[in-house]
Amino acid sequence: MNDANVEKATILVVDDEPGIRESLRMILEFEGFEVLEARHGAEAVARVSERQPDAMLLDVKLPEIDGLGVLQALRERGFDLPVLVISGHGDLSTAVEAARRGAYDFFEKPLQRDRLLVSLRNALEAARLRRENLALRQEPDEMVGDSAPMRRLRSMIERAAPVASTVLITGESGTGKELVARAIHRGSPRAAKPYVQVNCAAIPEELIESELFGHEKGSFTGAVRRQTGKFSAAHSGTIFLDEIGDMSARTQAKVLRVLQSGEVEPVGAEKVARVDVRVIAATNRDLEKDIADGRFREDLYYRLNVIPILTPSLRDRSGDIPALVDYFARRFAAALSGRARRFSPDAVAQLQTLAWKGNVRELRNFVERLMVLAPGETVERQDVLEAAGSARAAVSEAALSAKTLREFRE
């Protein structure tokens, strides 16, 4: 195969005839694909739920659920993979209905080997480009700055990206831990594979196991259908567990199991599924203190902390503030219909004197505020002082009215 991006792709062949499954397996494996098989529609849906393949070859005439029913089930469950439909009794209405339900292409038996392979490669390439475009639209801010802490951070990313080891990113809120995780994935051999991000702090404790590991239909109240977990969705790629310090002890134990054995146990399932996932975790908490306080598992910490990366605070890289201001100003100018704003040198110098407790995220929001509210085409030092004063006025007034050093410090 010529395209390295599809060379290791996994193809699910769904057909109730063993001879056809075997012949397709031989063709696909000769071309370098990994092949999975399903004998009927229900098994196909279950296979995709356990481990999403890169593409599917799907017969229309199947027992239990026919091919069109499988397409409908995949759409309802949110699976986005190219499906090439095969029919022994091809007719226009079936082909139109298959396309309406999301099929990439339609073939009649007997299959033409070369046409099938060309269509399959095109489908895989289209899916790859779609993932890349989606990632670009969702891409967060770049890592801007050339200070010594940023050079060290980039060096760590370059060394961590090519290997499969787990990574633990620590640092204050707003320092760009998500950017680091994405950069590691982009620079890894898994870059063309899924990247799944989970904010552990944003998911209620009673739902996080289901989100991470999936669940079976009827396994708990409200489980009206089977759900694929984030670990299975990230199979062959990377999962980023943000704010992992907020994870419950029970969920920590199950994550540890995945790291140790590669086994995922959906809620209510009778068997486990195996996954190949690189784990990147992040937290702004002091996990060593949490371990001492009994809030975080020590064995999980050591499993995650194979490659530790610390994101520097903005106060440790204040020399990067001029570059960050320029970067955010250009981005916001495009978002504000080209309404350009230049920051005067005095304004930038004033921004460097402020305390950014929210780090780069706070600076970004502050620049956006100035871009919208500053009256002139150039943001001046006075604009910075007024915008900063409105947010800090209450604190400043209290400090100035203090009668003793203790009151001032408080």
Cα separation, 5 vs 130, whole angstroms: 13
- pTM over cut 0.75: no
Cα separation, 343 vs 383, whole angstroms: 10
Structural contact between residues 239 and 213, judged by C-beta atoms closer than 8 angstroms? no
Q: What pLDDT is stored for residue 185 in this prediction?
A: 95
Cα separation, 119 vs 348, whole angstroms: 54
Residue with the larger pLDDT of the pair 10 and 137: 10
Mind giving me the DSSP string for 304-315? HTTEEEEPPPGG
Structural contact between residues 282 and 170, judged by C-beta atoms closer than 8 angstroms? yes
Mean pLDDT of all residues in the chain? 85
Handedness of CA 37, 40, 43, 45 (dihedral sign): positive
Q: What pLDDT is stored for residue 25 in this prediction?
A: 94
Per-residue pLDDT reduced to its tens digit, 269-278 = 778 888 899 9
When mean pLDDT is compared across 132-136, 142-146, 164-168, the lowest value belongs to 132-136
Per-residue pLDDT reduced to its tens digit, 94-105 = 888 888 888 888
Per-residue pLDDT reduced to its tens digit, 35-77 = 999 999 989 988 888 888 999 999 998 988 889 999 988 887 7
Residue with the larger pLDDT of the pair 244 and 215: 244
In the three-class reduction of DSSP (H, G, I as helix; E, B as strand; rest coil), residue 34 is classed as: strand
What's the average model confidence in pLDDT over 154-170? 96
Cα separation, 383 vs 368, whole angstroms: 13
Q: How confident is the model at residue 313 (pLDDT cuts 50, 70, 90)?
A: very high
Q: What pLDDT is stored for residue 393 in this prediction?
A: 42
Q: What pLDDT is stored for residue 363 in this prediction?
A: 94
